[in-house]
Amino acid sequence: MEKSSKIYVAGHRGMVGSAIVRQLESEGFNNIVYRTSSELDLMDQAKVNEFFETEKPDYVFLAAAKVGGIHANNIYRAEFLYNNLMIESNIIHASYVHKVSKLLFLGSSCIYPKFAEQPLTENALLTGSLEPTNEPYAIAKIAGIKLCEAYRDQYGCNFISAMPTNLYGPNDNYDLQTSHVLPALIRKFHTAKEEGHPSVPVWGSGSPKREFLHVNDLAKACMFLMKNYNEKLFVNIGTGVDVTIKELAETIKETVGFEGEIAWDATKPDGTPRKLMNVGLINGMGWKHEIDLKEGIAMVYEDFKQLDFA
């Protein structure tokens, strides 16, 4: 990529897209284009084609998606499947039609089978059943991977895919109805501390293990792949280290300074028992994460305290 290359970041106001924009700007790229959802409905194929015809981007980061945690994935199943299928299909096809030089599609670690061998390697895709609570979202993301592969096979497009682990960082979603576990716990512990609650309820048993990557590290990985990787196989992006939800909750409790108890609600679903990424492929190419979890939680808590509802 040249510094003057026209780069389209789809989903630039989300946590991932905004991190990619920050990384591009920090590296001196000065021709970045994007549209808000009110300016461009990515589920409208005609509007997406019109945008690509007008702007003619050279590179595309496809970070736009409808996302959420266990609760949102399980309740809004049709929306998570339909919206994500439409968004990725429209952008990937328009990128082919308008001769984009390279596209990076961002998926999710939930694409892997629920009981796949740990840590999750790229070749475990489609070897077993998915976690039921987020199956529609996972199917949409698998479809995105396969679209990139199919357009590469049939048309020779340089479309690549990356699968991040669980993410957190600036511009995260702290809505308790739709957020992922880490931002939800930050908000719960902060609220409990501010309001003097004796305990904080947390879903599940605390035993599932999860891996967490700061979104700034993901943005650097995306740039690394856009510059250096041109193969069909999608690439895992993560830290290669996981913690139990109990350990995560205790770390956040300590960071926030909440002195009450954690009340585990075992009647609520745990989700997938473990989702640790094998990051040997991207580490072998020369990329490795820089921000450890405890440091990252402290960073995002400082950001969180500046938000309006904090």
22-59 tens-digit pLDDT: 999 999 999 999 999 999 999 999 999 999 999 999 99
Choosing from 59, 96, 112, 137, which is the catalytic residue? 137
* Tally of domains within the chain: 1
Helix axes 45-55, 77-97, angle to 10 degrees: 30
* CATH number of the domain that residue 41 is part of: 3.40.50.720
Residue type, 266: A
Q: Could you tell me if residue 202 is inside a domain? A: no
pLDDT above 90: residue 21: yes
Residue 251 is predicted with a pLDDT of 98
pLDDT tens-digit readout, 250-308 = 999 999 999 999 999 989 888 778 889 999 999 999 999 999 999 999 999 999 999 87
Task: Please state the length of the chain.
Answer: 310
State which residues form the domain around 151: 7-171+211-241+276-291
Please classify residue 196 by burial: count the beta carbons closer than 10 Å to its beta carbon, then call 0-12 exposed, 13-18 middle and 19+ buried: exposed
pLDDT tens-digit readout, 226-252 = 999 999 999 999 999 999 999 999 999
Distance CA 76, CA 302 (A): 31
Residue type, 176: L
Q: Could you tell me if residue 281 is inside a domain? A: yes
Q: Could you tell me if residue 201 is inside a domain? A: no
User: What is the reported pTM?
Assistant: 0.93
Q: Could you tell me if residue 259 is inside a domain? A: no
Residue 10 is predicted with a pLDDT of 98
Q: Is 34 a catalytic residue?
A: no
Q: Could you tell me if residue 189 is inside a domain? A: no
Q: Could you tell me if residue 270 is inside a domain? A: no
- Pairing state between β 32-33 and 59-62: unpaired
pLDDT above 70: residue 310: no
| 3-state class (DSSP) for residue 178 | coil
